[in-house]
Amino acid sequence: MAEFRVEKDSLGDVKVESDKLWGAQTQRSLQNFEIGSQKFPRAMIRALGLLKKACAQTNTELGLLDEKKLKAIEQAADEVISGKWDDHFPLVVWQTGSGTQTNMNSNEVIANRATQILGGELGSKLVHPNDDVNKAQSSNDTFPTAMYVAVAESTVKQLLPAISGMLDILKKKSTDFEEVVKIGRTHFMDATPLTVGQEFSGFAEQMQKSMHRAQKGLEHVFELAIGGTAVGTGLNTHPDFSEKVCKKLAIATTLPFISAVNKFEALAAHDALVEFHGMLKTIAVSLMKIGNDIRMLGSGPRSGIGELKLPANEPGSSIMPGKVNPTQCEALTMVCAQVMGHDTAVSIGGSMGQFQLNVFKPMMLHNCLLSIELLSDAMNSFNKNCLQGIEVSHEQIKTHLDNSLMLVTALNPHIGYDSAAKIAKKAYNEGTTLKAAALSLKLLTEDQFKEWVVPKEMTGPKA
């Protein structure tokens, strides 16, 4: 049977399980917001620990917090940063739009743990959650600051390495397949030739640009709201507080965090996250293109395009023996669809900045971090279980290339568009080869056809 202690806040007494580090406001949130099961991930809890430590250090440097309390808060915050107390951050995403309850959750956990470190009993407030841990702060500036730290760290640690890994494989495939000539396709119809390497170079360029987009999307995320307190004025803070905290966060994370120039914008609008997630959506669009192309190019194996051989990871059917499906492509493209949906939610959330505060912060953060996680994991899985093992089917590629009527395009400079079109239509209608149709129409000789229709020479400009 659980034992309880009594915690107090401005509304009165609240019973909290004796072994929990949180306090009254966290407990009230648990009782008042039983909505869904989505909680803030490790990245956000870590960010809150980093922020509270930086704020306590800054307050001590400014003569506003005594050294003894600082040491206890630092130790408690370090434990939060390391993940030791993750189970003591139980609140769901769907709470107050400012994230106040989660800010207080971090204040209460760190204050209670610091109290323990100083030899006090839980709930005694030897270190106070508001007066000490939250000194010179408001949920309205701390929560968005932690949001941005969490998003930036997750991008650098998860997303960028996943994109880089995919880019490396695509570049290698582009080189490996640079001499394999195939038929191109536009509008799902035959087009002029290119090489498989050229096709994969297009995928590689998409990921190169995805890397740039992700990095560029962080530009305004590095601008932090801390120091704005309740409405952006900086009430109850020292003039140097914001700059000092941001410098400490930059050192702790090795990321270029700075104090937001305009704190009114930093609290009331989260256009930076809308812009950033727009970059994530664009990356999802690129991945959707790549995943779908590879899935279709590998279709078959006998009744589809079948130009790519995809790794066989698991049986594809419970009823059709021997069937293998492009499951990694499917997982990747499903993630892309989900991220596109997240972008709508983030856009709506960003528009909910009425007067001096945006009140959709937790939802925006949840979707940004989930999109980063899903894209990163999906790319890593796709890279490992599909992309790196792709091979080409030379026989199938040659069959499609030899049968294509669009090789006739090579004749345009020699006999003109209209005459070339006659050859293509005759070959199609009569089921013959281009050469047979051309000779039948007496538009060129066999030697001329051999000289002018060379698929490899059609894969680039020709003088």
Q: Which residues are catalytic?
A: 187, 317
CB atoms within 10 A of CB 385: 16
Q: Which helix (H) or strand (E) holds 17?
A: strand 12-17
Q: What is the DSSP letter of 120?
A: P
Classify the C-alpha dihedral 382-336-46-259 as positive or negative.
positive
Using DSSP, state whether 18 is helix, strand or coil.
Answer: coil
Helices (H), 269-360: 271-297, 327-350
Count the alpha carbons within 13 Å of 299 in the hemisphere toward its beta carbon. Answer: 10
Cα–Cα distance measured from residue 164 to residue 162, given in angstroms and rounded to the nearest whole number: 5
Q: How many residues does the chain have?
A: 463
Distance CA 122, CA 115 (A): 7
Phi-psi region of 186 (alpha: psi -120 to 50; beta: other; left: phi over 0): beta
Tokens 């995928």 correspond to what residue?
A: 203
Q: 3-state DSSP: the chain helix, strand, coil percent, rounded to 5?
A: 60, 10, 30
Token digits of residue 347: 């856009």
User: Tokens representing 123?
Assistant: 């709930």
Please calculate the CA angle 63-65-66 and round it to the nearest 5 degrees: 95
Q: Which amino acid is at 2?
A: A
